Amino acid sequence: MKTIIGITPSHQNELREYYLKKNYVEAVLQAGGTPLILPITSDENIINNYLEIIDGLLLTGGIDPDPRYWGEESIPGMGKIDPLRDKFELSILKKACRKNMAVFGICRGFQLINVAFDGSLIQDIAQVENNYLKHMQQAPRWYGTHEIKISDNSLLKEIMEVNSLLVNSFHHQVCGKIGKGLKVSARANDGIIEALEAENKKFLLGVQWHPETMYRKRKEFSKIFQRFVDESKR
Ligand code: MN
């Protein structure tokens, strides 16, 4: 039995090019999945065709979602926006959830899950007066720099089987209001939400960190990809 995992790339539309870090593909492969990169499209029929082919959906990292999706206009700390990617990923994500497909979001993908369920993001934590930790680390990508505390009775806890983890951190945006039907699976020690999942036990999981750049040196992170591929198989 093949388990096909659709993976969303980023792109530069002006250059007519798609991009995807190989770590995402390799993390799916080592978990026994068959990765399939899904070119960004605005054609809903093509999106429906993708969903006929794939068993699970992996939303990857990338640039900032457009704050108009949660009713705000951009502040100066906002990064680049890719309107075509935003529209594509929100569409395929919502449709995948309606089909009860296993969905895993990493970094931007995690943030998009919150936005898709009517949550909001803080556009730039540097603009917020608070004693936040450093969430845009300057250590190597495989190296964890801040701790997270994992919520009891969460899917993440069931997968990782620990109360806390050291994770990497490459984000300047964070979750604000939590989306409907989602619950917090982990927080950093400054209160920042680092993982979200569905309240109803379906496999809808998002993590703010990048397990795909850690699993080779920290084997426990491959458990997330393993569980995601296993759930996609069902
Ligand atoms: Mn972080």
- Please give the positions annotated as active site: 107, 210, 212
Give me ligand 1 centre to Cα 69, in Å.
Answer: 22
Amino acid at 213: T
> Distance between CA atoms of 11 and 17, rounded to whole angstroms?
6
Cβ atoms of residues 92 and 8 within 8 Å? yes
Give me ligand 1 centre to Cα 102, in Å.
Answer: 24
Per-residue pLDDT reduced to its tens digit, 81-94: 999 999 999 999 99
Per-residue pLDDT reduced to its tens digit, 178-227: 999 999 999 999 999 999 999 987 899 999 999 999 999 999 999 999 99
Per-residue pLDDT reduced to its tens digit, 113-172: 999 999 999 999 998 888 899 999 999 999 999 999 999 999 999 999 999 999 999 999
Q: Which residue has the tokens 């969905």?
A: 103
Provide the residue count of the chain.
234
Give me ligand 1 centre to Cα 44, in Å.
Answer: 34
Instruction: Name the residue among 158, 152, 162, 148 with its Cα closest to residue 207.
Output: 148
pLDDT at 128: 86
pLDDT at 177 > cutoff 80? yes
Give me ligand 1 centre to Cα 205, in Å.
Answer: 16
Average pLDDT of the chain, as a whole number? 96
> pLDDT band for position 1 (50/70/90)?
confident
